[in-house]
């Protein structure tokens, strides 16, 4: 098993996406990339800690390679907006890949370069690619947020469309139990 750590806006959104992928054993919402030890959601949401809302994925690279996780990461958020995803604004919502090895760094840089050359986006891709340092797991109520709160307006308006896009564009990677969700 390997780990991948991504920040792509609100961690509720990214967790909902990646927990549906075959080969992903677990997804945790949390904070990384900042200076404060053991930050709380309230502290991170001020933008003063330097942390990004992020997810940490434990995955089986024999089932889902890191490069394919990158494809899903790029496709399910906007990597061209600085410190923002939709209405979520602040450095804690930045687009960032925290690599766990030199191989992940190389794959992330190559994937970003390929995407830039593809013309998919007219604006430059601003996603940071940084070494992983430490991950602080978010409070329990943030874990599995989407599945526990599907009727909440944020889940219906913001997360549902991302999950539907995943189901449509990456259907062969989606776990069977989520294909009818």
Q: Catalytic amino acids? A: 10
What does the block give as tokens for 33?
Answer: 């990339």
Element (H, E) at 68: helix 66-75
Contacts of 7 (CB under 8 A, 6+ apart): 14, 32, 33, 52, 53, 54, 55, 93, 94, 95, 96, 97, 98
Could you give the dihedral angle defined by the CA atoms of residues 53, 155, 144 and 39, in that order, rounded to the nearest 10 degrees? 30
């Amino acid at each position: 098993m390997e780990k991948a750590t991504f920040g792509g806006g609100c961690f509720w959104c990214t967790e909902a996406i990646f927990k549906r992928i075959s080969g992903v054993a677990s997804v945790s919402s949390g904070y990384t990339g900042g200076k404060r030890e053991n930050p709380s959601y309230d502290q991170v949401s001020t933008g003063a800690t330097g942390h990004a809302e992020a997810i940490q994925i434990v995955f089986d690279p024999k089932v889902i390679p890191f490069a394919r996780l990158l494809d899903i990461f790029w496709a399910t958020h906007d990597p061209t907006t600085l410190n923002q995803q939709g209405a979520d604004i602040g450095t804690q919502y930045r687009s960032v890949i925290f690599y766990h090895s030199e191989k992940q760094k190389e794959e992330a840089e190559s994937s970003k370069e390929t995407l830039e050359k593809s013309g998919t986006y007219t604006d430059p891709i601003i996603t940071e690619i940084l070494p992983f340092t430490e991950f602080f797991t978010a409070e329990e109520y943030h874990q599995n947020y989407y599945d526990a709160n599907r009727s909440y307006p944020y889940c219906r308006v913001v997360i549902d469309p991302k999950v539907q896009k995943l189901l449509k564009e990456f259907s062969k990677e989606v776990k069977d139990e989520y294909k009818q969700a």
